[in-house]
Amino acid sequence: MSVKGFEHTAHPTHLGAAQFDKLATLLHAANLLDESTLTQAVATAAMHDVPLIAYVVAKNLVPSATITALLAKTLGESVVDLDEISLTSLPKTAIEPRLLAKHHVLVLADKGTHLVIATSDPTRQEMLKELRFHAGKHITPALVDESQLAKALGKLFLGAQYDLAALPDSQHTDAPDDDITLDAPTVKFVNQILLDALGLGASDIHVEPFEERLRIRVRIDGVMRPLATPPKHSGAAIATRLKVMAQLDTAERRKPQDGRLSFTLPTGKIMHFRVSTTPTVFGEKIVLRALDGTQSLMGVEMLGMSKSQQEMFVSALQKPQGMILITGPTGSGKTVSLYTALSLLNHDAINIQTVEDPVEVHLDGINQVNINPKIGLDFADVLRSFLRQDPDVIMVGEIRDTTTADIAIKAAQTGHLVLSTLHTNRACDAITRLQNMGIATFNIASSLSLVIAQRLLRKLCNHCKTPISVPDARLNELGFSADDIRRATIFAPTGCHRCHRCQDGYQGRVGVYEFLPIDAPMSERILAGASGNELHQAMQNQGLMSLHAAAIDKVCQGMTSLQELHRVSTL
């Protein structure tokens, strides 16, 4: 296959050709991605050693079909329909499955002197060279759609059936840790659970023992779903294996434990999980939280903020001092917003220090500290030490108590930019929460620069969402304005088999935000003792969107459904 059509393609200005491969250059030339988003996508994909096209499609930056059509036109090639090919008939070759998964390809045919491989980006010359070396044959790339390829790879590498019958009884779990080998059925089962959960895009894995059964569920796009139901008697063996991987005390079953484990994917990428155990009446419940840097490192353009919100966010980050608070319940995307802010601030001229519980993503150039309650190292202790470390920017994972809040507020008043989170429903409620912690109103008004409340909405699958008719009166009841009703095309989820991650008609999530900038008039209201409701009303009077209005805007854009609006937002 010849790669033609790139000879006269200009590279993006000021970035330099070396930073962009041929696909990136093509996406920019076709105006499918702006320079800032493309730069961030290229950097993040390279950091995590995944093909650019896989990252771009997985993050819903450009539809898979659009990229496939562009490549087909540019390369002068036809597109192979993977959905029409039986995966069980694919040939076995000298290329290891780990290498195929790493390069995001499949071998379609062995022609003796050459292999035909399915790839969603035939322009990746280094990939072709490496496959040619390992196969000892010429490689002929066949262009396929990325969504179809991801689904096929998921079935081949993440879809093995669980060998439940091979799982041991709980009586075998008292053996020494060294007896748990890589060939043990429990090890294989746990590995497959981790693979399948990651392949489905799960953020959490729950292993739950009950009186008569054992249940394994995963949280995908914020919603819990069943994954497997192994035999009840295998629960202790599964728990022991996970505790060994997380370096926890396998003999301790009466107290909660917390740890961290690492797991290597077939691609060679290492995934990290935070592990938590809790003793229940029927055994230990174990929850694993996937710590995926790919999900937490993104450009501000990818968060889902409106243009005006992006400008307010960046403007607040450019201030030399003050506090930016991000509020919302657990699982609302606060960590991603914090890491995005840190990525924007991270350069050699600034000293950034973070205290977290735990550090979820390791960022080069940033000094990150884990708290350790076992030795008495808490947020307040680390914050005090930070102030003697000449910081410019301080990030506190969460303000949990009065002491931490007081130190953070004072740091924001003395020449430091402080970023942190609180658990409140609305942006204005952050002021009330700080007051209830005992922070003086004057200190709150003088230190806060921006409060952001946020939620995550599930995004409708572009392949199968269906337009529906909703009476104007009903939309009005839900808070839609007359302008919203005029511009809205309402869609509902359907569910389909065409995309690897479509779950009941949803694929991925998008953030919705409520911004409360603490300008001079807002500071005066806080000093005057305005209630949370009064501050919220003042925010809306300034033309700033509430969370509910932001969610309605996503419905009007066809990005999410009325069900999601109802699930995460109230009037």
Taking Cα atoms as reference points, which of 23, 237, 7, 256 lies closest to residue 121? Answer: 23
Position 268 scores a pLDDT of 66
**DSSP for 272-291?**
EEEEEEEEETTEEEEEEEEE
Q: What is the pTM of this model?
A: 0.71
Burial of 378 (0-12, 13-18, 19+ CB in 10 A): middle
pLDDT digits (tens, 9 = 90+) for 295-327: 556 688 889 999 999 999 999 999 999 999 999
pLDDT in tens, the chain (571 residues): 333 333 333 333 333 333 457 899 999 999 999 888 888 888 878 776 788 998 888 777 899 999 999 999 999 989 999 888 887 778 877 787 777 877 889 999 998 889 999 999 999 988 899 888 888 889 999 999 998 888 787 667 654 455 555 666 544 444 444 343 334 788 888 988 998 888 788 999 999 999 999 999 999 888 899 988 888 888 999 999 999 999 999 999 999 999 999 988 766 678 899 999 999 999 999 999 998 765 556 688 889 999 999 999 999 999 999 999 999 998 899 999 999 999 999 999 999 999 998 888 888 899 999 999 889 999 999 999 999 999 999 999 999 999 999 999 999 999 999 999 999 999 999 999 999 999 999 999 999 999 999 999 999 988 889 999 999 999 999 999 999 999 999 999 987 755 545 678 898 899 999 999 999 999 999 999 999 999 999 999 999 999 999 999 999 999 999 999 998 876 5
Q: Is the dihedral of CA 556, 559, 562, 567 positive or negative?
A: negative
507 is written with which tokens?
């694929």
Estimate the share of the chain in helix, then strand, then coil, as percent rounded to the nearest 5. 40, 20, 35
Instruction: Report how far residue 466's alpha carbon sits from residue 473's, in angstroms, rounded to the nearest whole number.
Output: 21
Q: Note whether 196 and 267 are within 8 A (CB).
A: no
Check for a shared fold between 164-291 and 295-455+511-546.
Answer: no
Burial 214-245 (b: 16+ CB within 10 A, else e): bbbbbbbbbeeeebbebebebbbbbbbbbbbb
- Helix or strand holding residue 368 (H, E): strand 367-370
Check whether domain 17-147 has CATH 3.30.300.160, yes or no: yes
Q: In Å, what is the CA distance from 189 to each residue of 219, 243, 266?
A: 19, 15, 15
Instruction: Report how far residue 546's alpha carbon sits from residue 126's, in angstroms, rounded to the nearest whole number.
Output: 48
Check whether domain 295-455+511-546 has CATH 3.40.640.10, yes or no: no
Q: In Å, what is the CA distance from 408 to each residue of 327, 343, 369, 412, 527?
A: 16, 21, 16, 6, 19
Position 183 scores a pLDDT of 42
CATH architecture designation of domain 164-291 = 2-Layer Sandwich (3.30)
Position 569 scores a pLDDT of 76
Position 503 scores a pLDDT of 76
447 is written with which tokens?
């230190």
Position 10 scores a pLDDT of 35
Q: Note whether 242 and 283 are within 8 A (CB).
A: no
The residue extents of the domains of the chain are 17-147, 164-291, 295-455+511-546
